[in-house]
Structure 1
Amino acid sequence: MSTGASVVLLTGAASGIGAATARAFADDGWTVYATDVRTEFPADIPERCRCLELDVTDSEQVEAVVDHIIEEAGRLDCLVNNAGYGVAGPVEDVSSDDVREQFDVLVHGPHRLAQAVLPEMREHGGRIITVSSVLGHTASPGLGAYSAGKAAVESLSDAVRIEVAGADDIHISLVEPAWVETGFADGALESLRDADRTPTYDRTYDALEDGWVLTGGPLATTPEAVAATVLAAATDDPPKARYPVGAFATFVRWTHWLPARLQDPIHRGFGRASALLGRWL
């Protein structure tokens, strides 16, 4: 039976951007299905949302969760792909297994979910929103594997947007923050601890561990700002294809149009300068 309220399925909702987004949708009157591979949600989330376990790398679980929501709520109006994590390190030093596992979450997860929700949305309309990153446009030294995953999901989302355009009331949007004040950096740094390090990349590792490449330092935005942007993508009429979050994200995104001979020194210089500042501050 339909709940009457609009219904959103949100992945990666146990912390950071996901938890903030769950709160934003709940505040706006949506029925929120907050999901995560972990089942430990902040105390207020189960009070306001319907919490489910969901591993986006498990095709059977993806289908089961989507079927459960449609059966229980009677509809599914919005999917927010937020689940993700970062593997840090120079591309030469990151293992293929780590890259493959990250792609399974960042790229194959949204693909599985799109396949699961599109038949329902084709009947009644709906929106698919993916929390990406400006790194999907512009790679950063030490985050090449993560940038590649975000670039892939950007292309995937663009293709779906073009494929569904005009035929159905389905809209696809990308939300593109730069740095956000979450546990992302801690998780990415964890991936560095056991890495075999090629000495050539000492400066890259310094930028990751001491600089702002992972955290953004004072340039980072809040999870709440990203959540507000996701909600805008879910409610704007019509929605935009892309939503950069904040002025700095817009700036980083547009540096993509610079020639490589200008882009590359900017990225190298940012990491090195922020590492020096990180030691002083």
Structure 2
Amino acid sequence: MTNNNVAHLVMLTVTLGLLAGCGSGSDNSVVLPPVDPDSSWALSQWKLTLPESKDSYFGSGGSGAAEVIPGGCSLDGSSLNEDLSNDYFWVTEDALHFRVPLNGGVSTPNSSYLRSELRELFTWSPCESNGDAASTWPVSGQHQLSAVLQIDDYVQNTRPKVVVGQIHALDVDQALVKLLWEGYDRPVRVILNQQPGKDSAFSVDLGVVNTDYWSYDITMTATGVIVTAGGVSQTLKFNGVDLSTDWLALQYYFKAGLYPQVDKNNGGVFEASFRQVVINHQ
């Protein structure tokens, strides 16, 4: 495995092709692949953050949010794999399932919101002490996150807002890209920060997605970012106007799952099924 051409896949089938319509920007429909009971999900290049404390989930470790890590590297020696099943994440032969109940819980540093979310571990070696810093990629090349998902449940007493995909820079509080779903009656929205390390958020709209499975695609190069959902694409360039060129000097990772932008004590729940998550680095 090299940094020049790495493909990390979490998907239903063992083939490398994207789903028809995924990221094409031409059609809201998604053709789902057939379920192959003999295939497996590749979870070894992700870690999972849960909306529960380490003390509560593992029995020790402190009040911070619990993380389940592959390779037996979790606090209690457990692993993120297909056998993992808890109140916030489980695996079936047709999907990865994420769930975030909004009845209290534990958020991560620099956020007041809960999450059940995968964080990419790029070229990761199991249990390395500097895992987060070593598990990032530079801007050079092309980096793509594509997913097919369905929002199965969401809060009813307020506008549902949930981030389902991100590009994040190491040691920067603000995400470069957050893909936000706000209900089936509104377009999917991309929230970006013009400059790293500053509150410089702005947003652009993508398309409205249907109530069945839908797809998104986030691609990043040294030129800029292209984001697609609901048949609409938006391109933001690192030109000092759309996005600051300061982003070019940083290291990055993808995130996918559920990160509700709703108060953790609101009540209700967010739940989603991801039929495919594909990360490709070239």
TM-score (norm 2): 0.30
Structure with more helix by fraction: 1
Q: Which protein has greater RCO, CA pairs closer than 8 Å, 6+ apart?
A: 2
TM-score (norm 1): 0.30
